[in-house]
Amino acid sequence: MRRKGEREREMEMRKLAPRARARSLMCALRGVGIVLRSQPNGWIMVVAGVCTIAAGFLLEVSTGEWCLLLIAVFVVLVAELFNTAIEFLTDLVAPEYHPLAGKAKDAAAGAVLLASVLAFLIGLVILAPKMAAVLR
């Protein structure tokens, strides 16, 4: 008979198995897909991110600039994923209107707005001078 500690260790090891990791990855990808299918703003953010990355290639940004641009793009996408998760959970918990539910949704949307403003400013600081130099 195995002791309790042995069973817990065995269960922990199963969580690290390749099949469990692959299942976890599939759940995460499904979550991204759910957001992209259900949130029009998610697509707008993806298109903006692709345009930003394309501009980075065309304008030959430096490695440091790439890091900042990629961080900016992904912070916006992560914020949108969290926003959608909060909206789904809020709708589950409070299907009828409740002032606190509205505040939770507004706060999550505000996080996306701030992330988007930050990404826009980072893109502007990095890409605008390079675009101006090309247009001269």
Task: Please give the Cα distance from 136 to 130 (Å, whole number).
Answer: 10
Q: What is the mean pLDDT of the chain?
A: 92
* Amino acid letter, 61: V
More confident residue, 18 or 48: 48
pLDDT classification of 16: cutoffs 50, 70, 90: confident
> Is 14's pLDDT higher than 80?
no
Question: Any idea which residues carry the catalytic annotation?
Answer: 80
Q: Compare 80 and 5 and report the one with higher pLDDT.
A: 80
Q: What percent of the chain has pLDDT over 70?
A: 96
Structurally, at CATH architecture level, domain 39-135 sits in: Orthogonal Bundle (1.10)
pTM over 0.85: no
Contact status, residue 126 vs residue 54, Cβ threshold 8 Å? no
Residue with tokens 């916006």: 76
What pLDDT sits at residue 3?
64
Domain ranges of the chain: 1-38, 39-135
Q: What share of the chain is helix, strand, coil (3-state, %, to 5)?
A: 90, 0, 10
